[in-house]
C-alpha cells in the first residue's frame, strides 16, 4: 500500500477517510459508521473531521465509529478561524475531544485563515501539544504565501501538514505549493480527491474510463490513485458506504505508469503558471 511520511517520521497509508456531511442524516448513520469501521479495518489510519461539520455531528459520529479502535486511527480535527485566538483554540479543542470521546487528537488543523495572527494560533497549538491534548498540528487551505508566512512565525516550522483541495480538475497546487512543501518535507492532505459535485467531468472522460478498463478498476479508483502518485499526498475521500471504502482502499495499491500519467495530463493539463488556491 502506498504510504506518506509525516515530518516526525510517522508513516501513514496514502488514503484516509473524510467525514464531511456524515452524521447529518439519521437514516444513513448506520452505513456511515460501518463505512468508517471498514476503512479502519483496511488500515486506512487517517480519519478527518472538523468542529464545523454538522456543528459537531460528524465528530460525534466518528466517536462511535472509532470506539474500541482508537489506537488504529490517526484522528484529525479542525478549529474554525473564528475560534483561532489563543483561549478559543484551547476551548474548541476541549469541545472536540469531548465530542470525539478521546483525550487526544493526532492532528489539529486551522480550518482556514481568518483574522487572528498566525503566531497566536500556533502558540495555542504548541500549548495543546505540551499538554498532550494534540500530538501535532497543521493548517488547511493555505496557499504558498500563507505557508511562507507561517514558516517565519515562532514554531511555525512545526507544521505537520497542509490540507487543500486537489483532484484531477483542480491541479493548481502542482505549480508552486506542492514543490514548496516537498522541499520543506510537509505532506499535502488532499480534500475532495473525487471532485465531489464536479465528478461528471471525470466520470465521463474517455481517457480515464479507458484506464479504468485497462486496470479493471473503477473511474473513481483511477482518480484517487492519481492523487497519491507523487508519494507526497494523502487523500481523504469521503465514502458513506462500505463498498466505496473497499474500492478506495484498493486504490492505494494501484500504480499508474508514465504513459498512464501522460494520458491523464492530456485530458487534465497540469498548471503552467501560478493558480490561486481554490477553496471549497
Ligand atoms: P470527495 O471528493 O471525497 O467525494 C465524496 C463523494 O464521493 C461522496 O458522494 C461519496 O459517495 C463518493 N465516493 C466516495 N468513494 C467512492 C467510490 N469509490 N466510488 C464512487 N463514489 C465514491 O468529497 P468531500 O467533499 O467529501 O471531500 C473529502 C473530505 O475532505 C471531506 O469529507 C472532508 O473530510 C475533507 N474536506 C476538507 C475541506 C477543508 O476545507 N479542509 C473542504 C472539503 C472537504 P458515498 O458517500 O455515497 O460513498
Separation of CA 192 and ligand 1 centre (Å): 5
Q: How far apart are CA 213 and CA 73, in angstroms?
A: 33
Give percent of the chain above pLDDT 70: 99
Q: How far apart are CA 236 and CA 18, in angstroms?
A: 5
In this predicted model, which residue has the larger pLDDT, 200 or 125?
125
Task: Indicate if the pLDDT at residue 162 is higher than 60.
Answer: yes
Segment 157-163 mean pLDDT: 98
Tell me: the pLDDT tens digits for 168-192?
Answer: 999 999 999 999 999 999 999 999 9
Separation of CA 16 and ligand 1 centre (Å): 11
Cβ of 248 less than 6 Å from ligand 1: yes
Cβ of 77 less than 6 Å from ligand 1: no
Cβ of 280 less than 6 Å from ligand 1: yes
Ligand 1 atom at shortest distance from the alpha carbon of 244: 18
Domains identified in the chain and CATH numbers: 11-267 (3.20.20.100)
Instruction: Tell me what pLDDT residue 15 has.
Output: 98
Tell me: the pLDDT tens digits for 61-73?
Answer: 999 999 999 999 9
| Assessment of whether the complete model's pTM goes beyond 0.85 | yes
Separation of CA 57 and ligand 1 centre (Å): 16
Cβ of 220 less than 6 Å from ligand 1: yes
Instruction: Tell me what pLDDT residue 201 has.
Output: 85
For atom 29 of ligand 1, which residue has the closest CA? 18
Q: What is the DSSP letter of 143?
A: -
Instruction: Tell me what pLDDT residue 23 has.
Output: 97
Q: Sorting pLDDT into bands at 50, 70 and 90, what band is 200? A: confident
Q: Sorting pLDDT into bands at 50, 70 and 90, what band is 203? A: confident
Cβ of 235 less than 6 Å from ligand 1: no
Instruction: Tell me what pLDDT residue 189 has.
Output: 98
Cβ of 20 less than 6 Å from ligand 1: yes
Ligand 1 atom at shortest distance from the alpha carbon of 20: 32
Q: Sorting pLDDT into bands at 50, 70 and 90, what band is 196? A: confident
DSSP letters for 204-264: T-HHHHHHHHHHT--HHHHHHHHHTTTSSEEE----SSHHHHHHHHHHTT----HHHHHHH
Instruction: Tell me what pLDDT residue 46 has.
Output: 98
Task: Indicate if the pLDDT at residue 197 is higher than 60.
Answer: no
Written as nine digits, the cell of 279 is: 477553496
Segment 187-212 mean pLDDT: 89
Cβ of 140 less than 6 Å from ligand 1: yes
Task: Indicate if the pLDDT at residue 198 is higher than 90.
Answer: no
Please choose from 32, 49, 192 the residue to mutate so as to test ligand 1's pocket, defined by most ligand atoms within 8 A of CB: 192
Q: How far apart are CA 144 and CA 94, in angstroms?
A: 30
Instruction: Tell me what pLDDT residue 193 has.
Output: 96
> Which sign does the torsion angle of CA 51, 66, 194, 169 carry?
positive
Tell me: the pLDDT tens digits for 4-42?
Answer: 999 999 999 999 999 999 999 999 999 999 999 999 999
User: How far, in Å, are 92, 139, 199, 251 from residue 227 at the CA level?
Assistant: 31, 19, 14, 10
What is the SS3 assignment for 153-218?
Answer: CCCHHHCCCEEEECECCECHHHCCHHHHHHHHCCCEEEECCCCHHHCHHHHCCHHHHHHHHHHCCC
Specify whether the CB–CB gap between 107 and 138 falls below 8 A: yes
Q: How far apart are CA 103 and CA 70, in angstroms?
A: 10
Specify whether the CB–CB gap between 78 and 51 falls below 8 A: yes
Amino acid at each position: 500500500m502506498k504510504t506518506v511520511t509525516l515530518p516526525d517520521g510517522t508513516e501513514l497509508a496514502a488514503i484516509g477517510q473524510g467525514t464531511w456531511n456524515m452524521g447529518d442524516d439519521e437514516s444513513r448513520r448506520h452505513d456511515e459508521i460501518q463505512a468508517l469501521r471498514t476503512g479502519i479495518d483496511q488500515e486506512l489510519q487517517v480519519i478527518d473531521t472538523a468542529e464545523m461539520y454538522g456543528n459537531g455531528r460528524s465528530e460525534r459520529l466518528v466517536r462511535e465509529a472509532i470506539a474500541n479502535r482508537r489506537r488504529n486511527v490517526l484522528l484529525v480535527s479542525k478549529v474554525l478561524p473564528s475560534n483561532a485566538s489563543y483561549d478559543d483554540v484551547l476551548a474548541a479543542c476541549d469541545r472536540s475531544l469531548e465530542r470525539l470521546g478521546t483525550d487526544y487528537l493526532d492532528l489539529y488543523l486551522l480550518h482556514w485563515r481568518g483574522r487572528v495572527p498566525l503566531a497566536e494560533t500556533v502558540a495555542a497549538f504548541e500549548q495543546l501539544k505540551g499538554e498532550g491534548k494534540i500530538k501535532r498540528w497543521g493548517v488547511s487551505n493555505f496557499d504558498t504565501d500563507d505557508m511562507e508566512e507561517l514558516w517565519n512565525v515562532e514554531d511555525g516550522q512545526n507544521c505537520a501538514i497542509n490540507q487543500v483541495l486537489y483532484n484531477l480538475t483542480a491541479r493548481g497546487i502542482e505549480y508552486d505549493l506542492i514543490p514548496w512543501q516537498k522541499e520543506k518535507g510537509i505532506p499535502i492532505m488532499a480534500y475532495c480527491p473525487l471532485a465531489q459535485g464536479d465528478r461528471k467531468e471525470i466520470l465521463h472522460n474517455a481517457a480515464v474510463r479507458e484506464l479504468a478498463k485497462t486496470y479493471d478498476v473503477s473511474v473513481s479508483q483511477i482518480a484517487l490513485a492519481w492523487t497519491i502518485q507523487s508519494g507526497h499526498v494523502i487523500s481523504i475521500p469521503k465514502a458513506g458506504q462500505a463498498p466505496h471504502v473497499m474500492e478506495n482502499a484498493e486504490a492505494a495499491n494501484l500504480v499508474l505508469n508514465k504513459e498512464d500519467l501522460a494520458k491523464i495530463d492530456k485530458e487534465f493539463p497540469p498548471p503552467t503558471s501560478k493558480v490561486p488556491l481554490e477553496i471549497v
